[in-house]
Amino acid sequence: MVALGLALTKIVLEIDGVSDWDESVSDWLAQHRTPNLEHLSWVGSTLAGGLVIPCVIAFFLAVFLALRRWRLAAFVLFAVAIESGGYRATSLIVPRERPNVPRLESLPVDASYPSGHTAASIALYGGLLLLLISRIRNTTLTLLAWACILAVPLFVGWARMYRGMHHVTDTAAGVLLGIGALVVVVCAARADGATSERRDSRGPGTAR
């Protein structure tokens, strides 16, 4: 993410027209604000914000721990931890000014890249929906879950851009960060599962 951010800010945005286009999307959204859409954007922004995300994590952690599903609890916790750590490090190393429009939230102005809310929506809600998909065999529910996996980040990303907090490219980077966090955790969970299966198949008396 750091490498992509440096490439974006130092190379891509220096290409004629790219930076202007990126800013023009934010300008257009700001010019077409309405009270109802502002309220809707608040919902999308809050859905992946610093208050709701910890509450959702705590709820599912409590449920999975009560059920003794240790791997599921770790999955939820570390998916967001990796995303959050990646966002914090990247935004510090690659500072970028937020869009030059009236902003509807008071946050540091040089932390536009990447969109942490968009990334968090994928890491948490996408991760939970992937867990659901892995355990259901109903085609309709599976398709509905996949639709939500696509819709939630789009809604959150739109809300953050509508509120003047991120450019389009920042939101796209947030999508990549969220997907990357999920890939890391899914691979780790599969590796742990495979290791546990091999250990169980050997039996307690099998020499290592």
The mean pLDDT of 2-20, rounded to a whole number, is: 94
Under 8 Å between Cβ of 97 and 110:
yes
Residues 152-200 pLDDT 10s? 999 999 999 999 999 999 999 999 999 999 999 999 888 877 777 677 6
0.85 cut: is pTM over it?
yes
Who has greater pLDDT, 143 or 193? 143
One DSSP character per residue, 66-110 reads HTT-HHHHHHHHHHHHHHHHHHHHHHHHS-BPPPSS--SS---TT
- The arithmetic mean of pLDDT across residues 122-127, rounded, is 96
Task: Determine the pLDDT at residue 38.
Answer: 97
Residue 95 has pLDDT above 90, yes or no: yes
Compute the average pLDDT of residues 80-93: 95
Has residue 206 got a pLDDT over 60? Answer: no
Average pLDDT, the chain: 92
Q: How much of the chain, in percent, has pLDDT values that exceed 90?
A: 83
Q: Which two tokens stand for residue 60?
A: 């599912």
**Domain range annotation of the chain:** 33-95+110-192
- 134 has pLDDT over 70: yes
pLDDT-derived band at 204 (thresholds 50, 70, 90) equals low
Question: pLDDT (tens digit, 9 = 90+) per residue, 29-61?
Answer: 999 999 999 999 999 999 999 899 999 999 999
Alpha helices in the chain (DSSP H): 2-10, 18-31, 35-47, 52-66, 70-93, 116-120, 127-133, 139-162, 168-202
